[in-house]
Amino acid sequence: MHLQSVLFVNNQNTVVRDVTSVNPKFFHIALLSVKNIRMSGLKISAPSNSPNTDGIHIERSSGIQIMDTHISTGDDCISIGQGNDNVDIARVQCGPGHGMSVGSLGRYAGEGDVTRVHVRDMTFTGTMNGVRIKTWENSPSKSHAAHMVFENMVMKDVQNPIIIDQKYCPYYNCEHKVSTASWRNMSCLIITFLVVAAALCQIV
């Protein structure tokens, strides 16, 4: 059984400020079916070789704000799962870790769409990935990852700055599509841009 250090379930109109989380056994913080939460000033840390220690995981939630936070961990700094809408992330320092991910999406039937994700002024240092969007190709039902904007992203010593993967399980016809995602003012020391069957994405 996996236990999050802090789990928010069905909360509304919540403020989380100036919290420190160190060396959890699983995710540091998980948001499940949360509406309107503002998180700022968080300090999250775990060893770079610690598995499944996501900094903040979000699922089936809306009205999420994460600001002015430092995350260094052994997995994703921030992971956005299925069924999320209106997620605003700004001025987050990520690294080490696996970067930030949207997904994986589409593994199970009935998953919700991921829409209106806005990430800005985020810095990745020494991470495996920067921003990663991944969907399962053999999804049992349709859903979308749409209307996502990533801007003013700075990446230093990042192995894979941008990954958009719509063939996460490349054996069946893919029912998922990434659409209307845009990237503005990307700054990378060395960039490897890997796109697998992406649709309607633009670098600005």
Task: Report pLDDT digits (tens) over 88-122.
Answer: 999 999 999 999 999 888 888 888 899 999 999 99
Amino acid type, 46: A
| Spans of all domains in the chain | 10-203
Mean pLDDT of 131-137: 82
**Bridge partners, 67 (sequence order):** 40, 90
Any catalytic annotation for residue 75?
yes
> Where does residue 84 fall: left (phi above 0), alpha (psi -120 to 50 degrees), or beta otherwise?
beta
**Backbone dihedral angles phi then psi of residue 128, each to the nearest 5 degrees:** -65, -45
Instruction: State residue 21's pLDDT score.
Output: 92
Any catalytic annotation for residue 76?
no
pTM summary value? 0.83
Query: Which of 7-16, 20-29, 76-85 is the least confident region?
Result: 20-29
pLDDT reading at 176 higher than 90: no
Mean pLDDT of 36-61: 95
* Mean pLDDT, the chain, integer: 82
More confident residue, 132 or 66: 66
Closest CA to 176 of 100, 86, 109, 130: 109
Architecture of domain 10-203: 3 Solenoid (2.160)
- Out of 75, 76, 144, 165, which one is annotated catalytic? 75
> Rounded CA gap, 179 and 115, in Å?
10
Question: Tokens representing 86?
Answer: 């209106």
pLDDT reading at 4 higher than 70: no
- Out of 98, 144, 165, 176, which one is annotated catalytic? 98
Q: Before 104, cis peptide (omega within 30)?
A: yes
From start to end of 41-143, where are the E strands?
A: 43-45, 56-59, 62-72, 76-80, 85-94, 99-105, 114-120, 123-125, 129-135
